[in-house]
Amino acid sequence: MPADESRYRLLIDAVFDYAIYMLDPDGYVTSWNAGAQRFKGYTEAEIIGHHFSRFYGEEDRKRGQPARALHAAATEGRFENEGWRIRKDGSRFWAHVVIDPIRSPDGSLLGFAKITRDLTDRRLAADALRESEDQFRLLVQSVTDYAIFMLDPDGYVTNWNAGAERIKGYRPNEIVGEHFSRFYTEEDKRAGLPQRALEMAATEGRFGKEGWCVRKDGSRFWASVVIDPIRSEAGDLIGFSKVTRDITERKEAQDELERAREALLQSQKMDAIGQLTGGIAHDFNNLLMVILGSLDLARKRVPEGARVLSLLDNAVQAAQRGAALTQRMLAFARRQDLNLEHVDIHALVRGMADLLKHSIGPTVEIELDFPDRLPAVNADANQLELALLNLAVNARDAMPEGGKVTISADRREIGADNLGELRPGSYLCLSVADTGEGMDAETLSRAMEPFFTTKGVGKGTGLGLSMVHGMARQSGGRLLMTSQPKKGTVAELWLPVSCGSVESPAPSPAKHLAPRQPPNLTVLVVDDDPLVLTNTVAMLDELGHRVLQAHSGKEALETMRSSPVDLLITDQVMPRMSGVDLANIVFAEKPGLPIILATGYGEVAEDTPDSLMRLAKPFGIDALDEVIARVMENRQASPR
């Protein structure tokens, strides 16, 4: 054997990672190296002279795969393939096979060189990777609550899962290859948000945001979006993963909660303002009581025709306007004294028609829209008239160039599942709608706040709507306002329907004015405010009565138990013992004693006796004289 041939033989036998051997032109093994023996299992003596087809599986042999491999090598100059092969022990391995033809110098085929490499480990790893990818693909495709898909580096969709189809409405063949910016609103696209999202994901490693997205049908949904970059092992950007979730229901729930929280804060704010306003109005009422009472007494002492008389009359009118202002403040605070009765809304509005026309002027048209039959409501007719007049005047002021005011009413029902401020039941909704300038959301949110007004200085107190609001709440209803700029305002006054009453109430009989009670009554006056007490005592003196004074309920009881008293006049709001508390004790000790409760508040204790006569502050000497006459007449008429 030549030296070169010997060296080549040693070289081939030294290779253990490759099976290197030769075949004759018919495919029979003619040589065998150590690598072939290592991973095929045959010794040289066992395999030389045998056909190489025994390395193939039964299925491959039936299909003629070995013969085709030799034919391809002989005709095409080379055959290369991967596939399963069989070891001596029958086990399989994944082989990479190369077969080259061996020719003589004259070109005749001498045989074949066959090199086989065992790639089983790589094949198993590739199968495991493919199986893992298939599992992830199935996982992603099975997710329907999230849109999970990929984008190429330029933002074009490269795949699409079932969740994306459900949420966004596109089928894979409709969206793959399209740019993901079509999911954004027009305003976001104009602002360049899609491109900024990709840039942020690429530079910062992640992009996350909530906002409006667009479905295939053009509808919008509130989405949570996360975009992550996908990079190769070398760190090159090869695309993006995008996960989108439809959280519209969650946003709506959050918005509803926020609206409820805002409504609660607004209610708490209004209640706090109401408490403050009511307290100020009460103290102001006491001051006006003193001023009006003193002016009344002073006027009676001035001879007719005196020059100072006109000044006193002006002062009385100013004080009366102040008293009207306090009534509006108390109405907002729900502390004015309401005389609730059955009121026919239709009849009340018809009776006010002329007053409304004169109040809002000729440039505004008034239209009444009432059904033929409406139930009566529980309300104070005088306060309701004032409330309707306020709403009509506000509507007029919102239409400086003229317009139309529509006053209508209809019955509404509030169910047990209502979460608003009204109790379940039947209500009459009195609506005043105008075609005026309307209000923006901020102005509308403050419209019922006391002293808030959009009118010029001196053109409004800012208490009109707050008075209507307070009157409605105290009556068991509410004031609801809706408005849009340039589209007008609608004010809805909801009032509870009178139980069992659907007809207009019968006209009230004319009031009978009792004659003045002769003087010389012994009257016990109780008030914790010294100015009010002094003023009331002065008026009673002017009426000719004997007056006893007390600064508290305790002092009044001590005085009453030690001295005979014909009449008790007590303030309601006093420290430690209210006027009602005092009256209940007096009724128990002296059942027949007449009592007058003087108060500027409408909200008194629920256990207030029905027989307790009330006198609204501020009052003058004539009102005081009339209520004394009435209470004493009632005493004489009642059975002993």
pLDDT of residue 148: 86
366 φ/ψ angles, rounded to the nearest 5 degrees: -110, 125
Which tokens belong to 634?
A: 């009632």
Range of the domain at 86: 3-124
Residue 348, pLDDT score = 86
Asked if residue 415 and residue 320 are part of one domain, the reply reads no
Task: Give the DSSP letter string of 316-338.
Answer: HHHHHHHHHHHHHHHHHTT-S--
Average pLDDT over residues 595-610: 68
Does the residue 513 lie in any domain?
no
Are the CB atoms for 299 and 309 separated by under 8 Å?
Answer: yes
Residue 397: which CATH number?
Answer: 3.30.565.10
Confidence grade of residue 71 (pLDDT, cut at 50, 70, 90)? very high
* 346 and 443 both lie in a single domain: yes
* Residue recorded with tokens 């007058």: 596
**Is pLDDT of 320 > 80?**
no
pLDDT-above-70 percentage for the chain: 79
Query: Would you say residue 623 lies in a domain?
Result: yes
* CATH number, position 279: 1.10.287.130
Angstrom distance (rounded) from CA 585 to CA 455: 50
Q: What is the mean pLDDT of residues 64-85?
A: 92
242 plus 297 within the same structural domain: no
SS3 content of the chain, % helix, strand, coil (to 5): 45, 25, 35
546 has which bridge partners? 522
Closest CA relative to residue 432, chosen from 379, 475, 481, 504: 481
SS (H, E, C) 467-478: HHHHHHHHCCCE
Residue 160 counted as domain residue: yes
Q: Is-contact 112 70, C-beta < 8 A? A: yes
pLDDT band at 461 (very low <50, low <70, confident <90, very high): very low
Q: List pLDDT tens digits, range 116-167.
A: 988 888 887 776 667 655 565 555 555 667 888 999 999 999 998 888 899 9
Q: What are phi and psi of 577, to 5 degrees?
A: -145, 115
DSSP H/E element including 413: strand 403-414
Quick one: pLDDT band at residue 213, thresholds 50, 70, 90? very high
CA distance 461 to 451: 6
For the chain, the distance separating the N- and C-terminal CA atoms, rounded to the nearest angstrom, is 156
Query: CB within 8 A of 86, min separation 6: which ones?
Result: 54, 55, 56, 57, 92
Q: Of 592 and 23, which is predicted with more confidence? A: 23
SS3 178: coil
> 462-520, pLDDT tens digit by residue?
455 767 777 777 778 888 888 888 888 998 988 889 864 444 333 333 334 444 555 68
Q: Is the pLDDT of residue 52 over 90?
A: yes
User: What is the enclosing helix (H) or strand (E) of 156?
Assistant: none
Residue ending a domain, among 90, 124, 158, is 124
Are 191 and 116 contained in the same domain?
A: no
- Residue whose structure tokens are 């007053």: 355
Residues 320 and 347 in one domain: no
Q: In angstroms, how far is CA 639 from the centroid of its own chain? A: 60
Q: Which helix (H) or strand (E) holds 361?
A: none
Q: What is the tally of structural domains in the chain?
A: 5
Please state the rounded mean pLDDT for residues 98-126: 88
Whether residue 597 has pLDDT greater than 70: yes
Mean pLDDT of 455-462: 47
Q: What is the SS3 assignment for 265-291? A: HHHHHHHHHHHHHHHHHHHHHHHHHHH
What string of DSSP letters covers 332-364?
A: HTT-S----EEE-HHHHHHHTHHHHHHHH-TTE
Q: Which of the listed residues 183, 217, 246 is the one where a domain comes to its end?
A: 246
Query: Same structural domain for residues 348 and 473?
Result: yes
Which pLDDT belongs to residue 640? Answer: 45
Q: What is the mean pLDDT of residues 269-292?
A: 67
Which residues, other chains included, contact 135 with Cβ-Cβ below 8 Å and sequence gap of 6+? none
**Lookup: tokens for 407:** 């006053």
- Residue 261: pLDDT band (50, 70, 90) is confident
In a domain, 420, yes or no: yes
- For residues 357 and 489, state if they share a domain: yes
Domain end residue (candidates: 282, 308, 330): 330
Q: In sequence order, which residues have a C-beta less than 8 Å from that of residue 59 and are 6 or more positions away?
A: none
Tokens for 158, please give them. 């490269």
Q: What is the band of 608 on the pLDDT scale with cuts at 50, 70, 90?
A: low
Coil vs helix vs strand at 8: helix
pLDDT of residue 304: 75
* pLDDT (average), residues 179-205: 94
Q: What is the pLDDT of residue 128?
A: 67
Furthest CA-CA distance within the chain = 162
More confident: 27 or 608: 27
pLDDT tens track for 418-449: 656 678 888 889 999 998 888 888 777 766 66
Q: Six-digit token pair at 305?
A: 């025709």
- Cα distance between residue 628 and residue 525, in whole Å: 12
Rg (the chain; Cα; Å): 50
d(CA 601, CA 428): 26
Residue 51 lies in a domain: yes
Check whether residue 13 and residue 147 sit in a common domain: no
Which residue intervals of 63-157 are DSSP H helices? 65-76, 120-142
What percent of the chain clears pLDDT 90, i.e. is strictly above it? 32
CATH number at residue 568: 3.40.50.2300
What are the Cα distances from residue 287, in Å, to 241, 326, 462, 597?
Answer: 75, 11, 22, 18
Pair of tokens at residue 369:
């829209």
One domain for residues 114 and 36: yes
User: How high is the pLDDT of residue 604?
Assistant: 54
CA distance 392 to 430: 12
Higher pLDDT, 226 or 386: 226
8 Å CB contact between 110 and 128: no
- Report helix, strand or coil for 443: helix
Which residue bears the tokens 């081939």?
Answer: 12
Q: Is residue 409 part of a domain?
A: yes
Distance CA(619)–CA(293), nearest Å, equals 7
> Does one domain contain both 30 and 101?
yes
pLDDT-based confidence at 255, cuts 50/70/90? confident
Report residue 619 as tokens.
């009052």
Give me the CATH number covering residue 43: 3.30.450.20
432 shares its domain with 318: no
Report if pTM > 0.75. no
273 and 376 inside one domain: no
Mean predicted confidence (pLDDT) in 567-579:
89
Q: Kindly state whether residue 509 falls inside one of the protein's structural domains.
A: no
Please tell me which residue, 143 or 386, carries the higher pLDDT value: 386
pLDDT bucket at 46, cuts 50 / 70 / 90: very high
Contact (Cβ atoms closer than 8 angstroms) between residue 146 and residue 242 = no
Q: Is residue 264 part of a domain?
A: yes
* pLDDT above 60 (res 619): yes
Q: What is the pLDDT of residue 385?
A: 81
Cα 177 from Cα 159, distance rounded (Å): 9
Average pLDDT for residues 100-113, to the nearest whole number? 92
Q: Cα separation of 194 and 212, whole Å?
A: 13
